[in-house]
Amino acid sequence: MGYPMARNLHQAGLLAAVWNRTPAKAARLAQDTGCRAAATPAELAQQCDVVVLCVSADQDMLDLVQMLAPHLAANAIVIDCSTVSAQTAQAAAQTLAARQCAFLDCPVSGGTEGAQQGTLSIMCGGDPAVFERARPVLEAMGRRVLYMGPSGSGQATKAVNQIMVAGINQAVSEALAFAQACGLPLDRVIEATSGGAAASWFLVHRGPNMQRGEFPLGFKVGLHDKDLEIVQRMAAEYNAQLPVVEMTRLHYRRLLAVGQDNEDISSLFRLKQALFAPDRQT
């Protein structure tokens, strides 16, 4: 995700410097765009008014904020596009506030296609005045940039998004496995069902994976599972268990157990096909 998002910042004339945990990745982007490759997060912090983060885990984001914070100018803004919990976002915001810097939690939706084409949805939490200052940066990376509320609200909205994606993956994979068992032509099934009440982005963009039996990334099973674990932690604060999330994590664990971590989440289709296998274990 990070590479195409940074490229779009460059194309908007907003990219000053980059840093990556893997130096070769930063070097490649610096070469492609002519921007500087910072040697450390501290060096990056000294060169930028706004720093955009995109990492995979809550602790990675908190660690990075700790490394940036002492070196940022007053009034600098850190925009985190990772998916982490609302509580983690609030903790990062507190760390930066103690340094007179601002933090926006800005997770994204729309997949690698959206990152490449600059059509991501970006869900933002934080101070509304800071959001307005950061808007040009956000609009360079996404088409739908929405302020959702105070710190953590962007992450809460992303959690909502990930619950929906889980349920829609369940819906489409179960339905198309049924269609296949009935001997229907899946391409025409996708066409027929994508015009009415069953229409979804996932059906049109991931249904063809199921037809071909190939599940290129996309969005990794392991990452969606991690996001749903965040959802469960947030729901636990309300003593709530979410049936769609529970079921999907159960299914994802079965996929991960057979080494399907590097496939798109639409590979859930394989488990649904097994429901119709005459020799399945029941």
Among 231, 267, 269, 270, binds a second copy (CB under 8 A): 231
Interface of this chain with a second copy, residues 123 to 152, rule: CB under 8 A: 123, 143-144, 146-149
Cα distance between residue 87 and residue 93, in whole Å: 10
Is residue 159 packed enough to be buried (19+ CB in 10 Å), middle (13-18) or exposed (0-12)? buried
Q: How far is the CB of 172 from a second copy (least distance, A)?
A: 6
What would the two tokens of residue 75 be?
Answer: 């009034």
Q: Least CB distance from residue 130 to a second copy, whole Å?
A: 18
Output the smallest distance, CB 261 to a second copy, in A: 19
Q: Which residue in 243, 257, 258, 259 binds a second copy (CB under 8 A)?
A: 243
Q: Is the peptide bond before 218 cis (omega within 30 degrees of 0)?
A: yes
One of 242, 254, 256, 261 touching a second copy (CB under 8 A): 242
| Distance in angstroms (rounded) separating the CA atoms of residues 256 and 40 | 34
Per the annotation, the verdict on 272 as an active-site residue is: no
Q: Out of 25, 158, 220, 272, pick the active-site residue.
A: 158
Q: Which token pair is 136?
A: 């040009």
The residues in 155-214 that bind a second copy, with binding defined as CB under 8 A, are 156-157, 159-168, 170-172, 174-176, 178-179, 181-185, 188-189, 191-193, 195-203, 205
Rule CB under 8 A: choose which of 83, 153, 209, 267 binds a second copy.
153
Q: How many residues at the interface with a second copy, by CB under 8 A?
A: 74
The verdict on 13 binding a second copy (CB under 8 A) reads: no
Is the bond preceding residue 111 a cis peptide, omega within 30 degrees? no
**How distant is the alpha carbon of residue 246 from its chain centre?**
20
Amino acid making up residue 210: M
Helical (H) or strand (E) element with 176: helix 153-181
CA distance 95 to 91: 6
57 in contact with a second copy (CB under 8 A):
no
Q: Binding pattern to a second copy, positions 76-115, x when CB under 8 A?
A: ----------x---------------------xxxx--x-
Using CB under 8 A as the binding rule, the residues of this chain from 23 to 52 that contact a second copy are none
Q: Which is nearer to a second copy, 201 or 253 (CB)?
A: 201
User: According to the binding rule CB under 8 A, does residue 240 interact with a second copy?
Assistant: yes
Cβ neighbours for 253, distance < 8 A, ≥ 6 positions apart: 225
Q: Which of 215, 207, 221 is nearest to 176 (CA)?
A: 207
Mind telling me the catalytic residues? 158
